[in-house]
Structure 1
Amino acid sequence: METKSLEITTENLSEDLLNKINAYWRAANYLSVGQIYLHENPLLREPLKPEHIKKMLLGHWGTTPGQNFIYVHLNRIIKKYDLDMIYVSGPGHGGPAIVGNVYLEGTYSEVYPNISQDEEGLRKLFKQFSFPGGIPSHVSPECPGSIHEGGELGYSLSHAFGAAFDNPNLIVSCVVGDGEAETGPLATAWHSNKFLNPVTDGVVLPILHLNGYKIANPTILARIGDEELEQLFLGYGWKPYVIEGDDPMEMHQQMAILLDKVIGEIKAIKENAAKDKNAARPKWPMIILKSPKGWTGPKFVDGKKIEGNFLAHQVPIKDPATNPEHLKQLADWLRSYKPEELFDNNGRLNSELQELAPSGKHRMGDNPNANGGLLLQNLRMPDFRDYGVEMKRGQLGSGDTLVLGKFIRDIIKANIEQRNFRIFGPDETLSNKLDFVFEATDRQWEAPVIDTDDFLKKEGRVMEMLSEHQCEGWLEGYLLTGRHGLFNCYEAFIHIIDSMFNQHAKWLKVTSHLPWRRKIASLNILLASHVWRQDHNGFTHQDPGFLDVVMNKKASVVRVYLPPDANCLLSVMDHCFRSRQYVNVTVAGKHPAPQWLSMDEAVVHCTKGIGIWPWASNDKDVEPDVVMACAGDVPTLETLAAVSILREHLPELKVRVVNVVDLMKLQPETEHPHGLNTKDFDTLFTEDKPVIFAFHGYPWLIHRLTYKRNNHVNFHVRGYKEEGTITTPFDMTVLNEMDRYHLVMDTLDRLPQLKNKTAYLKQEMQDKLIIHKNYIRKEGMDMPEIRNWKWEVLES
C-alpha cells in the first residue's frame, strides 16, 4: 500500500449507500443460491418448478453469505481509497461466493464471454457450477482472482503472506474459516507477522470468519469466549477487532466503519515505518467477523434448525425436485433476495449497483497479482559455468550444495533491485550448506535481535521458520503472484508438505489448460541432508520417499533430478530457475563428495538427462556383458567403486556405466515428455543384458518407471529398503545392500557365463562385509579403504 495521502473517514454510511450495499449483498447471495440449485429459470421469471432444479445438488452454503458480505465491503474500500487488493478465500469450499462476486463485478464475463451479463449468461453461470463439464464447487484455478485452491484447508494465510512479500503496494485480504483455523498450518501461520517488513512488503489483512460450525461440529474458536479469543490473537501479535451480529443493516454499518478504521491504521503503520526504519514491529490489525452460519438462508427445514447451525454447511434444502414443501421453501428463499429489484429486464445487475464495484484492474477478480504470470520477469542469471569445479576425475570436492551456494548468492545479488527472488527453508539453509548466500543477504526477521544472532535483518532474501508448511505456503504465494524462489529442506521432512505439493501440482495442471492464466515460475525444491548421508541422525532422518509422491502427479507438471556431482547440480539448477509451470525436485548432497564430470561434460550430460559414461565403461564397439546404472550421488559413487573392483578382477568383463540425472528419462515417451523412445532406451540398456541399477530412493520406483521396457525383466535395482540407524555413511549403503560389495556380488550372480571364475571374488566381497561390520563397531568410522577410495580405473 502506497503511503500517499489518504483521507480516512469513519462516519456512518448514508442511508442510500447503506441500502445499495445491502442490495449488492443480496444479489451476491441470490447468485450463490442459484449456483447450488438452478439450471433453468435463473431470475424466477416464472414460478419455480422441479424441472428447473439440478438433478445433483452440490456446494457449500454455510460460509458463502459471510464471504459475500466481506467481498462487497472490500469493494467499497478499494474504490474509496484506490487500493490494490486481492482476496484469498480460506474456506474456499464457499465457491459460489467468489464466483458470484467476480461475475457481478464483470470480470467473469470478460474472461469467459459465453457467461454473459444477461439472463442467458446467468443461466449458464448457474448450470456450470459443480456440474459435469462445468466448474468445481470450490474457489478453483478456473475462478478469476484466485491464487488459492479451496479444496484443502490450512494454507490460506501462508499463501497470503507469500503474496505480500516484496509487494509493498498490495493488500491481501485473507478470509480464514473458523474450521480451517483448527489446522496446524493455519494455527502456525499467524506468526507470519514476525516476518513482514512494513516498508518493503505489502499488507495481509486477516478476517477470521467465525460462523460457529464445521461440517458437523462446533468450531473451537467459536466456543472459547471473547476474552480468551482476543488474548489468543494479542498473543500472536495482532490487534484484533470483533464485529458481531445478524441484523444486516447494523452489520453493514459496523463493517464499513471498522474497515475505514483498519485502513487508517495500516496507512499509519506504513508511514511510520517509512520514516523510522528501526521502528518496533507493528501490531497489524485483524478482523474477527461473527455471523450466523448460513446467514439469510432458511431458518428451519423439516423441523431442524438450519441458519446458525452446522446443517447450513452444505446444501440446506435437500430435495426440492421431488418434495413440494422443499420446493416452496427454496422458492421463498430465492425470492427473499428480491431479484426483480436487483437485475434489469435483460438480466444484468442494475447500473446503480454496478457502480459499487471497482473498475478495471482494481477489481479483485482482475487484479494482475492473482494471475502472477502477467507480472513475471525473467531472473537475471549469472553464467552457472563460472562456478564449476575443475579437478581430477573422482577427486573429493567440498560438497555439492556448498558449490551451489555461490551460484545462488550471485542470483540474489543480480536480482536485488527487482526484488523477485527469495530462498525459503525451515532453519536449514546453513545446515544444507548454502552458506554463501549469506554473503549477499540476511534472513528477514521483524522480531527483536540480540548481539549473538547471525544474519537477522528487517530486510532479507532468506525466509526461515521451523515449519515446512509455512515455507512451502509462502513460496507458493510468492510464485503465484509472479516471483521466483527456492525451497530447501531436509529430504526426510519434505513429506510434511506432501499434500501441499499435491495441491500446487494440481493447480499447475489445471491452469496449464486455461489460456487466460499466464505461466508462473516453477516451484523449485532442493532436497539435501539426504537419506544416504543422515547416518549421524539415524532412522528418523532417513527417507527418500518424496520422489514416489512426486511421481504420482501428472507428467506435464513434475520433474525429478538426481545430479551426481556439483557441476551437474549447477547445470540442473540453472535449468530449473529458468523453467515455468513445473514442480522441479532436485536431490543433492551437502558433504564432500567426488567430482565426476568437467563442466563441459556436465552440461552435455544434464542436457540429455541420461547417458553412458565412456570413461567408466570398457564396452565400446562391443556388446556389454552387464550394464551398471546409477541415479543419485551416493549410488553413483558405489556403482563406480563396484565397477573398479570388477574391472580389476575381471578385466575381460565388458561393463557399461549409465548415469541417470533426469529420472523421467526412464519412462516411455508416451508417458512423459522427457521419456526415451524404445529404440534409444534399448540402445542404452540393451534388450537382454543384466542391468544392475543403484538408485537413490526406494527400488520399486525404478521398476514402476521401466516395467513396460523390453529389458525390464533383467533390471535388478538396489536402493533404500527402509533399513537405517545411527551408523557410518558407508554402512547405510551396506544395510540397504546398495554398497559396492553387494553390487559386485549382484553382478556376478547375473552372469552365468563366468561360471566358476567368480567364486574367489564373491567370497572376497562377503569377507569385506564382515570386516567392515567389525571395523565400524570397534572404531566408529568407516574403513580407510572406503574413506580414502579414489577412482583410479584406466579410462578406455
Structure 2
Amino acid sequence: MQPAEASEGRVMLTDDELGAIDAWWRAANYLSAGQIYLRANPLLRRPLDREDIKPRLLGHWGTSPGLNFCYAHLNRVIAAHDLDMIYVLGPGHGGPAAVANAWLEGTYSEVYPHVSQDAAGMERLFRQFSYPGGIPSHVAPETPGSIHEGGELGYSLAHAYGAAFDNPDLIVACVVGDGEAETGPLATSWHSTKFIDPVGDGAVLPILHLNGYKIANPAVLARIPEEELVALLEGYGHRPILVSGDDPAKMHGLMAAALDEAIEEISEIRRQARHAGATGRPRWPMIVLRTPKGWTGPKEVDGLPVEGTWRAHQVPLAGVRENPAHLAQLEAWLASYRPEELFDTDGRPRTGVLATPPAGDRRMSANPHANGGLLLRDLELPGFRTYAVEVDAPGTTSTEPTRVLGAYLRDVIAANPDSFRITGPDETASNRLSAVFEATDRAWQAETLATDDHLGPHGHVMEVLSEHLCQGWLEGYLLTGRHGLFNSYEAFIHIVDAMFNQHAKWLETTRKIPWRRPVASLNYLLSSHVWRQDHNGFTHQDPGFLDVVMNKKPEIVRVYLPPDANTLLSVADHCLRSRDYVNVIVAGKQPALDWLSMDEAVPHCTRGIGIWDWASTDDGTEPDVVLACAGDITTLETLAAADLLRRHFPDLRVRVINVVDLMRLQPDTEHPHGLPDAEFDALFTTDRPVIFAFHGYPYLIHRLTYRRNGHHNIHVRGYKEEGTTTTPFDMVMLNDLDRFHLVMDVIDRVPGLGSRAAGVRQRMADARLRARAHTREHGEDDPEISGWTWPHGER
C-alpha cells in the first residue's frame, strides 16, 4: 500500500452529519477556551468584565482545538461502526480538550454530579480548571476516559499498545503530539507494530498531530519534507493517511474520509488474520493530521501572529484582566463559536451538538477499558508452596532463586493466557526465568529465523531493549484491567525512574477518586543486582532505584528483599494478588544458600521482619549486639559474620534479624507496614549496637529509622559506590560489607570488646588481605569463602 492523501470523495456525509460534527467541535473548543479563562459568565449572557476572568491564567490552548477535532470525528466512526474504542491523548497539556469532551458526552456530570450539564455546571467546569481546589491542567486521573497522565511526554503510544494487548475487540486511538514525537520513549514506541498480534490483540490507531511548534521551537517532524516523514513512518510499519489544512469545512470531509479508510483497513486486517488465515506482519494504518497550532483562536495579538505559531501554545491572550483590548478580543474569540447555537437557555448542549456521538459505554469517556478496575479479574494462581525448595537445615544447600520463581510464573501464564504478561529488556532468560518459555513464546511479529528461540505471534513475554517501552506497555496493560510483571537488571531500572514516578502519582490520585476502581499492582522484579555482576562491572552496579521508590507516598510503594528462593516465592505470590501498589522485589539469580523452609518462609514474609533464633546466640536474653540484614548477599555475609563471632567470642550474645519488607523499619505512623515503636525497640533494643548490612545505599536505612529510639546505635554497611568487574567476595570487600569487616564493626562497637579482641580484629583484617590476594592471583574467590555453608547443623 502507498501513503494516501485523504479524499473527501471516500465518504458521503450529509450536510446534517457534517454540521453536527462541526457543532461538537465548536462546542468543545468553546468549553476548552472557557476553562482556561473564565470563572463566571460561562455563556456570555452579558459582556465580559474583569471579574469574569481568572486571576491566574493557566493551561494550554495550542493543542486543544486539534484534539477536539479528532474527538469529534472519532465519535462519529464509533457510532457509525459500533466500535469499542478508547483514546490516549499524548500532547502534554490537552486537559481542557479531554474535560470538555467528557462533559459534552455527559460522563463528566455522571461521575461529578455537581458539575452538571447545564449553565451552573458549566460555570463550575470552567472555574475548577487549573484553580486552587480544582483539577489539573493536563489529562489526569480525574478525567473520565483517560488511562494516560499527560503531564510528562513520551509514553502515549506505549500505553496505547499496552491497552490493546489481549483486547481483541478494542481500538485505541492515540493522538501523538509532534513535540512528544521527539522524545526517546515515543520514538521507540513506533516499533510496537512488531509485537501486536492481529488475531488476539486489539488495534492502535496513531494520529500524529503536526501543529508545528512546541513551547517555543519548531517541532522536528513538522519541518521535515513530507516524503521524508512518510518514509520514516512507513519504515516503522505504518501506512500513513495524510490530512492537512486549516479550512474547517474542507478538513471535516478529509478527516471523515481518513478515519473511514483507517477503520476499514483495521477491519480487513482483522478479517484476514482471524478468518482467512493470513500470517505475517500487517502494515497498520495511521493518520498524519496537520493543522495550525491554536486553530480557530486569535490569529494576531498586539500585532504579532499567534494562530499557527508557538505563541498559541499556552494562553494566547495573557493580559485579559489588565488590558481592555485583550478582554474585548477574548470576548470576540469566544463569541466566534456561536455558543447560543450550541447550548440552550439552560446551558445544556443542543440536540444538534449531540447528534453524532455514541451512547453508554461506547462513549470514549465512559468506556470500561479506561477504568480498568471495572474489568479486573483475580489471577488464577497456582499454590506457590508446591514450588518450594526443600530445606532440611539452614544454609547447607544452594538454589537459584529466580529460576525457582520462573517455574511458578510459567504456570501463572498457563493459567491466565489472556490477562498476564511479563515485560523486560531482553533479560527474561538472563534473569533465570526461562521456565516461562515452556508456557509461552516471546511476542514477535517481525521476521523469524531458524536460530531464533521462542518467538511467536501469540507470546506473552514482551522483550525489547527499551525499558521505557516495557514499562509503558505494562502500564497500559494494567490500567485496562490486566496483570503483569516487569523484570529487569537492577541498575538499569533507573531508566524508567520518571515513568515510575508518574505511575505512582496516578495510583495515589486514583485512591481519592471513588469512581476509579483499583487496578493490579505494578510489580518489578530486579535481578542481576549490584552484588553479582559477574559478566559486567561498575556500570551495572547501582541499587539506587530503592531510594527513588521510597520517596513516594507510603500508601503506594512496597519494597521486598527476600533472602532465598522460598521467601521469593511467598513474596511474589503476595505481590501478584495485590492492588494499587508498586511492588519492588530484589532477588538474586545466582546460586545462593537456602535459609528457610517454606513453613518458615511464609510466616517470616508475613511478618516482614524477624529474629532468626537458629542463627542467634542471645537465647532470648538482652543481646550484646544486633546483626541485621536486608538482601540476599547481605544476609549471607551477616550469617557468615555470626558464625565467626560464635567461634571467636562464644560468650557474646548476638541477635540476628532479617528484614524482608523494608517498610517495616518505618514507624507505623509513617507507613501502613511500619512497626510500632515498642515492637521495633523489642527487636533492635534501644541501647545496644546494631550492625545493619543493607543491599543498597546505607543512608536509606538511616532515613527509615531516624525517628527510632536507638537510631544513634545503628551502623549501616551497604553499597558505597565502589565497584568493578570482580569476584563476588571482592565486591563486598570493596564496600566494607564482607563478613570480616562486619566482625570488625562488632569489635569496634560493643563496649568492652575492643581491647580484649584486638587479636581477633587483626586476624579479620589479615583475612581480608588474604582474600584479596587470592582473587588477584587465581581470578576467583577462595573456596573456603565461596563454598562456605552454615556449619551449625539443624535449627
Give the TM-score range, shorter chain.
Answer: over 0.9
Other-structure match for 2:261: 261
2:147 is aligned with 1:147: yes
Task: After TM superposition, list the pairs within 5 Å mapping 1:390-539 onto structure 2.
Answer: 390-391=390-391, 392-416=393-417, 419-539=418-538
Q: Structure 1: how far apart are the matches of 2:277 and 2:686?
A: 67
CA shift, 1:794, in A, is 5.6
Other-structure match for 1:24: 24
Q: Structure 2: how far apart are the matches of 1:438 and 1:780?
A: 34
Percent identity (aligned): 66
Other-structure match for 1:60: 60
Other-structure match for 2:69: 69
- Is the partner of 2:589 in helix, strand or coil? coil
Q: What CA deviation, in whole Å up to 9, does each residue of 1:467-514 have, x standing for no partner?
A: 000000000000000000000000000000000000000000000110
For residue 395 of structure 1, what is the amino acid of its counterpart? T
Q: What CA deviation, in whole Å up to 9, does each residue of 1:282-322 have, x standing for no partner?
A: 00000000000000000111111100000000000001111
Other-structure match for 2:5: none
| Residue pair 1:536, 1:728 contacting (<8 A) in 2 also | no
Task: After TM superposition, list the pairs within 5 Å mapping 1:682-701 onto structure 2.
Answer: 682-701=681-700
Other-structure match for 1:3: none
Q: What CA deviation, in whole Å up to 9, does each residue of 1:193-221 have, x standing for no partner?
A: 00000010000000000000000000000
Other-structure match for 1:574: 573
Choose 394-403 or 242-251, whichever is displaced more.
Answer: 394-403
Q: What CA deviation, in whole Å up to 9, does each residue of 1:418-466 have, x standing for no partner?
A: x100100000000000011111111110011111101001111101001
Other-structure match for 1:360: 360
CA shift, 1:793, in A, is 2.7
- Is the partner of 1:757 in helix, strand or coil? coil
Task: After TM superposition, list the pairs within 5 Å mapping 1:8-23 onto structure 2.
Answer: 10-23=10-23
- Is the partner of 2:222 in helix, strand or coil? coil
CA shift, 1:276, in A, is 4.4
2:299 is aligned with 1:313: no
Choose 188-197 or 17-26, whichever is displaced more.
Answer: 17-26
| Residue pair 2:23, 2:352 contacting (<8 A) in 1 also | no
| Residue pair 2:272, 2:278 contacting (<8 A) in 1 also | no
CA shift, 1:110, in A, is 0.4
2:161 is aligned with 1:165: no
Q: Structure 1: how far apart are the matches of 2:39 and 2:573?
A: 50
CA shift, 1:753, in A, is 1.6
- Is the partner of 1:754 in helix, strand or coil? coil
Other-structure match for 1:132: 132
Other-structure match for 1:89: 89
Q: Structure 2: how far apart are the matches of 1:747 and 1:755?
A: 9
Q: Structure 1: how far apart are the matches of 2:304 and 2:30?
A: 23
Q: Structure 2: how far apart are the matches of 1:309 and 1:782?
A: 65
Q: Structure 1: how far apart are the matches of 2:20 and 2:80?
A: 15
CA shift, 1:15, in A, is 1.6
Query: In the superposition, relative to structure 1, how do residues 755 and 428 fare at CA in structure 2: closer, same or farther (>3 Å)?
Result: closer
Q: What CA deviation, in whole Å up to 9, does each residue of 1:490-541 have, x standing for no partner?
A: 0000000000000000000000110100000000000000000014300000
Other-structure match for 1:334: 334
Q: What CA deviation, in whole Å up to 9, does each residue of 1:751-796 have, x standing for no partner?
A: 1322432111111111111111111111000001111111013667
CA shift, 1:620, in A, is 2.0
For residue 725 of structure 2, what is the amino acid of its counterpart? I
Other-structure match for 1:793: 792
Other-structure match for 2:731: 732
| Residue pair 2:78, 2:85 contacting (<8 A) in 1 also | yes
Other-structure match for 1:5: none
For residue 553 of structure 1, what is the amino acid of its counterpart? K
CA shift, 1:413, in A, is 1.1
Other-structure match for 1:174: 174
Other-structure match for 1:601: 600
For residue 532 of structure 2, what is the amino acid of its counterpart? R
For residue 349 of structure 2, what is the amino acid of its counterpart? L
Other-structure match for 2:3: none
CA shift, 1:278, in A, is 5.1
- Is the partner of 1:297 in helix, strand or coil? coil
- Is the partner of 1:267 in helix, strand or coil? helix
2:650 is aligned with 1:651: yes
Q: Structure 1: how far apart are the matches of 2:147 and 2:410?
A: 29
Other-structure match for 1:343: 343
| Residue pair 1:535, 1:725 contacting (<8 A) in 2 also | no
Other-structure match for 1:673: 672
- Is the partner of 1:351 in helix, strand or coil? coil
CA shift, 1:53, in A, is 0.3
CA shift, 1:627, in A, is 0.2
| Residue pair 1:605, 1:611 contacting (<8 A) in 2 also | yes
CA shift, 1:398, in A, is 2.6
Q: What CA deviation, in whole Å up to 9, does each residue of 1:657-700 have, x standing for no partner?
A: 00000000000011100000000000000010000000000000
Q: Structure 2: how far apart are the matches of 1:107 and 1:756?
A: 76
Q: Structure 1: how far apart are the matches of 2:691 and 2:277?
A: 60
Choose 782-791 or 576-585, whichever is displaced more.
Answer: 782-791
Q: What is the RMSD computed on CA atoms of the aligned residues? A: 1.1
Q: What CA deviation, in whole Å up to 9, does each residue of 1:604-631 have, x standing for no partner?
A: 0000000000000111231100000000
| Residue pair 1:9, 1:260 contacting (<8 A) in 2 also | no
CA shift, 1:633, in A, is 0.2
Task: After TM superposition, list the pairs within 5 Å mapping 1:100-111 onto structure 2.
Answer: 100-111=100-111
Q: Structure 2: how far apart are the matches of 1:246 and 1:138?
A: 25
Q: TM-score, normalising length from structure 1?
A: 0.98
CA shift, 1:9, in A, is 10
Q: What CA deviation, in whole Å up to 9, does each residue of 1:352-386 have, x standing for no partner?
A: 32122110000000000000000000000111001
CA shift, 1:23, in A, is 1.3
Unaligned 5+ runs, structure 2: 1-7
- Is the partner of 1:40 in helix, strand or coil? coil
Q: What CA deviation, in whole Å up to 9, does each residue of 1:78-137 have, x standing for no partner?
A: 000000000100004011001000100110000100000110000000000000010000
Q: Structure 1: how far apart are the matches of 2:23 and 2:353?
A: 8
Q: Structure 2: how far apart are the matches of 1:779 and 1:396?
A: 25
CA shift, 1:741, in A, is 0.5
CA shift, 1:395, in A, is 2.2
Choose 142-151 or 382-391, whichever is displaced more.
Answer: 382-391
Other-structure match for 1:251: 251
- Is the partner of 2:353 in helix, strand or coil? helix
- Is the partner of 1:716 in helix, strand or coil? strand
- Is the partner of 1:697 in helix, strand or coil? coil
| Residue pair 2:20, 2:355 contacting (<8 A) in 1 also | no
| Residue pair 1:522, 1:577 contacting (<8 A) in 2 also | yes
| Residue pair 2:20, 2:354 contacting (<8 A) in 1 also | no
Q: Structure 2: how far apart are the matches of 1:421 and 1:454?
A: 21
- Is the partner of 1:116 in helix, strand or coil? coil
Other-structure match for 2:4: none
Other-structure match for 1:4: none
2:715 is aligned with 1:716: yes
Q: Structure 1: how far apart are the matches of 2:787 and 2:52?
A: 79
Q: TM-score, normalising length from structure 2?
A: 0.98
Q: Structure 1: how far apart are the matches of 2:278 and 2:356?
A: 40
Q: Structure 2: how far apart are the matches of 1:543 and 1:609?
A: 24
For residue 406 of structure 2, what is the amino acid of its counterpart? G
CA shift, 1:75, in A, is 0.1
Q: Structure 2: how far apart are the matches of 1:640 and 1:11?
A: 75
Q: Structure 1: how far apart are the matches of 2:397 and 2:132?
A: 58
- Is the partner of 1:756 in helix, strand or coil? coil
- Is the partner of 2:790 in helix, strand or coil? coil
| Residue pair 1:140, 1:150 contacting (<8 A) in 2 also | yes
Task: After TM superposition, list the pairs within 5 Å mapping 1:768-787 onto structure 2.
Answer: 768-787=767-786
| Residue pair 2:641, 2:742 contacting (<8 A) in 1 also | yes
Other-structure match for 1:748: 747
For residue 364 of structure 1, what is the amino acid of its counterpart? M
For residue 651 of structure 2, what is the amino acid of its counterpart? E
For residue 221 of structure 1, what is the amino acid of its counterpart? L
| Residue pair 2:118, 2:346 contacting (<8 A) in 1 also | yes
